[in-house]
Structure 1
Amino acid sequence: MADTDGELVLVDFPADGVRRLTLNRPEKRNALSNPLRARLFELLEQGDGDDAVRVTILRGAGPCFSAGYDLSGGTAAPYPFHTAPGAGHWARHVVEGAFRIWDLAKPVIAQVHGWCLAGGSELATACDLVYVAEDARIGYPPVRNMSPPDNQFHAWMCGLRGAMEMTLTGNAIDGHEAVRLGFANRAYPADQLDAAVVAMAQQVAQVPSDVQAINKRSVHRAMEIMGLRAAIRAGTEMQALALTTQTSQQAFADVREGLTRALSARDAAFGDYREGEAKE
């Protein structure tokens, strides 16, 4: 599914040394198509080599950060970068993309408002800092009938109990709960989020990039020694195994028959996400 209508990612500089990237598919709730992902990776990597950039903010246009991957056809080939083919390709591709952001020299800040679901939550957790609106809604609903996450960050970011509850229910959490569990750094009223994130980015930008790269890497190395990178990579095999289940295969068949109807059927018993919006 090609994206042809306008810039997929908007770029501006809200402060000295601060580059801001805005996912720009608001009519699709910033669904992560492969063309959008390719452009995002391109811009992030450009910023890593630009002396004028010390920190990048990543946010979404319109009503939300991102409702997840584009299940209406936007995740088909061509892909933004090569990942070895075979079973589990998509989950491994997603994880490699997350680590491409993780391994950038310069910090990336996720600014989350509205829905931050499935692949959108994976994208946010790949960033170094996460600031959320108090009324944001963060969750991974595909655990209800498809599979665990492609990028299994929950245990690392939210701890055992929080990760287990989110994974066993697929329920969404708000900004305050995201901070309590460790998914996010801080939560702000939605109308204050832009200014608060830019102010934090300005603080980050005060540190020279050569020093900041080592600061960032030191935290990552500690997490890697504890097994984060290996565990998340191993999680892609669990995700691939889940796709062989009868329930998962039926769920994807339902999506091919009609995405809106399939998502409504998934969430009807819970009364949330699309079904919750319909009731409201």
Structure 2
Amino acid sequence: MTPMGEPVGQREAGWRDGLRDVDDSLFDGREQQPVESEYASLTYEVTDRIARITFNRPHRGNTITADTPRELVEVVERADLDPEVHVILLSGRGKGFCGGYDLGIYAEADGSETAPRGPSTTGTVIDPIVQARNHNPHGQWDPMVDYAMMSRFTRAFSCLMHADKPTVAKIHGFCVAGGTDIALHCDQIIAADDTKIGYPPTRVWGVPSAGLWAHRLGDQRAKRLLFTGDCITGEQAAEWGLAVESAPADQLDDRTEELVARIARMPTNQLMMVKLALNSALDTQGVSTSAMISTVFDGVSRHTREGYAFQQRAATVGFREAVRERDEVFGDHKRNAMKDRSAGPTD
């Protein structure tokens, strides 16, 4: 029966009813309890069958901290378990989607960090003091301590790919370095035309640990970007197939809402089956192997002669100045681009 008391076959488009909306719902009498949670790196809300996850560190370009992976996994799980949610939308508050990792702590090797809001990281592989010691150019590098730290982030971001429900990234302003590790795990990317997208740290001190560029772009275009560290616009990302579409910045919100609303009309079981079927192709391509190899090489890149030179320069003049010196020769990081240092990409 339907909410109107009619057999479902006699009601127009009854298959679009929500999981709680029918008389014989599996969820009858099982109302969800409100969850009182505050997050350090993001916000979470559900409206119109859409779970909305928004990175919420605009003063730091929504850069990734130790809180980010734990909190992202938690809210994606909340969305997956919620029968009201049909699609998950990921976006960033402020001037851009995500400026990558908040790496100044490691590059400048000063050991300072805002304490994570979740369980203490002291004495673990993500303890910033432990990682600073493991990045000491004059000490012994333990590659597996490095891998244990970075793989935690990569596995957490992969929850977007492995979530039962479709995930959509809405990117604007900038989506660079570690920010792309997050966005590329989403099932769909929609971008503002002028969004800056890329992985500049391949120039020194980084390899994209998600290992997804070739899977998303194909071999040649992935190499074109990662051999140079160059960025592309959102418009070009759509032309190349990295984004499903792009829109002028002032139309991005409306276009995104149209897309997620269309997805939200679909039954959740249909969405889950289609996503599982299509993800099997990515699994066959070896996505997990690509991530493992890329995460190892990301650690290696920070412990080469060049990587140590970059780190020592950052410790001397500051991380942002070292990034400027790295990128300016490529013509995409002029001094005037650093006027607002509080809200731009970090790496």
TM-score computed with the length of structure 1 as normaliser: 0.89
State the 1:114 CA deviation. Answer: 0.6
State the 1:62 CA deviation. Answer: 0.6
State the 1:87 CA deviation. Answer: 4.3
Contact 1:94/1:151 (8 A) holds in 2:
no
Output the amino acid matched with 2:42. V
Larger Rg over CA atoms: 2
Contact 2:207/2:297 (8 A) holds in 1:
yes
Q: Please point out which of 314, 320, 323 is paired with 1:255.
A: 314
Greater alpha carbon shift after TM alignment, 250-259 vs 270-279 = 270-279
Contact 1:68/1:118 (8 A) holds in 2:
yes
Question: Structure 1 regions of 5+ residues with no counterpart?
Answer: none
Paired position in structure 1 for 2:296: 237
Paired position in structure 1 for 2:154: 95
Q: Please point out which of 237, 253, 263 is paired with 1:194.
A: 253
Identity %: 27
> Kindly tell me: are residues 242 and 82 of structure 1, through their superposed partners in 2, closer, same or farther at Cα, counting changes over 3 Å?
closer
Alignment of 1:269 with 2:329, yes or no, is: yes
Secondary structure of residue in 2 paired with 1:173: strand
Contact 2:161/2:186 (8 A) holds in 1:
yes
State the 1:278 CA deviation. Answer: 4.5
Deviation string, structure 1 residues 147-175 (Cα, Å, up to 9, x no partner): 32111211111112211111111111001
TM-score computed with the length of structure 2 as normaliser: 0.72
Secondary structure of residue in 2 paired with 1:88: helix
Paired position in structure 2 for 1:27: 59
Secondary structure of residue in 1 paired with 2:170: strand
Secondary structure of residue in 2 paired with 1:272: coil
Output the amino acid matched with 1:9. L
Higher helix share: 1
Greater alpha carbon shift after TM alignment, 91-100 vs 193-202 = 91-100
Output the amino acid matched with 1:215. V
Alignment of 1:148 with 2:148, yes or no, is: no
Paired position in structure 1 for 2:71: 39
Question: Structure 2 regions of 5+ residues with no counterpart?
Answer: 1-37, 106-112, 127-142, 341-347
**C-alpha separation in 2, matches of 1:221 and 1:274:** 43
Output the amino acid matched with 2:258. A
**C-alpha separation in 2, matches of 1:110 and 1:70:** 20
Quote the RMSD (CA, aligned, Å).
2.7
Name the count of aligned residue pairs: 274
Paired position in structure 2 for 1:206: 265
**C-alpha separation in 2, matches of 1:274 and 1:159:** 30
Greater alpha carbon shift after TM alignment, 267-276 vs 39-48 = 267-276
